Amino acid sequence: TGFLLNGTYYDITTTADFSGNITIRLPYNPDAVPDPSTLRMYHYDSSLSSWVDVTIGFDNVTHVIIGVVSSLSPFALGFPILDFSGFLQPINSDGSSIFKLGRTVPVKFQLSDDSGAFVTNVTAFIFVAPVNNGVIGPEQPAKSTNSKTGNIFHYDNEHNQYIFNWDTNDLSIGTWRIRVLL
């Protein structure tokens, strides 16, 4: 389907005659959607046999998502499925990367949507945890070489990638697991 259902589904119909576009306003639960800008309204287009994102905006005061369509049929609220590229160089995808302790490690990845377009507006956090004898230790936010960014990636428009300059000064020698939270 191209999206993860938020648990809300509507089948809207009418017996009234209409022409032109119709504005649809559907409520969402703000407790279940911490960042409404990631939520999308999908409309089932029977001529395409697929769900189409018809979102045009949000009313964050009344907790309503707004979409525009030219016909009525099933609607669903959901989140687009993102394609994670895996970590980019200098991190090896097979886990064989070796870095010198105390150096900066650029952690990079790309995200795209189901149509292959780069996703540029996600907030991505990085966490690291030591791994000893196959056992993952306690997780902690990764430290950046730029103290103002916390453990949040920034987006590089030139290379269409998220990047975080990981400061390894305070780490111990060994294997570390990286986890990204979107």
Tell me: pLDDT of 5 over 80: no
Q: Which of 106, 105, 110, 117 is nearest to 155 (CA)?
A: 110
Can you name the residues that pair with 165 across neighbouring β-strands? Answer: 106
pLDDT digits 0-9 by tens, 112-133: 877 788 988 888 999 999 999 9
Region class of 2: left (phi > 0), else alpha (psi between -120 and 50), else beta:
left
Q: What is the pTM for the complete model shown?
A: 0.64
What proportion of the chain, given as a percentage, has pLDDT over 70? Answer: 95
Q: In the sheet where 154-156 sits, what is the strand order?
A: 104-109, 161-167, 154-156
Rounded Cα distance between 23 and 159, Å, is 37
* Predicted local distance difference test score (pLDDT) of residue 4: 61
* Confidence label for 19 from pLDDT (cuts 50, 70 and 90): confident
Q: Given this model, what pLDDT does residue 82 score? A: 79
Q: What percent of the chain clears pLDDT 90, i.e. is strictly above it?
A: 50
Report the pLDDT value the prediction gives residue 7, as an integer from 0 to 100. 65
Q: Write the DSSP symbol of residue 102.
A: T
Burial of 46 (C-beta count, 10 Å sphere; 0-12/13-18/19+): exposed
Please choose, from the candidates 20, 9, 14, 17, the residue with its C-alpha nearest in 3D space to the C-alpha of residue 43. 9
Is the pLDDT reported for residue 1 higher than 60?
Answer: no
Q: What would you report as the CA-atom Rg of the chain, rounded to the nearest whole angstrom?
A: 21
Q: What is the pLDDT of residue 6?
A: 63
Q: What is the dihedral of CA 92, 95, 101, 103, to 10 degrees?
A: 20
pLDDT at 3 over 80: no
pLDDT tens readout for residues 135-178: 999 999 999 998 777 899 999 999 999 999 999 999 999 999 99
What is the mean predicted confidence (pLDDT) over 27-32?
84
Q: Tell me, what's the pLDDT at 2? A: 60
**DSSP E strands, 70-134:** 74-80, 83-84, 104-109, 111-112, 125-132
In the prediction, which pLDDT does 106 show?
Answer: 96
Note the pLDDT tens digit of each residue in 76-93: 888 777 788 899 999 998
Would you give the DSSP letter of residue 152?
A: B
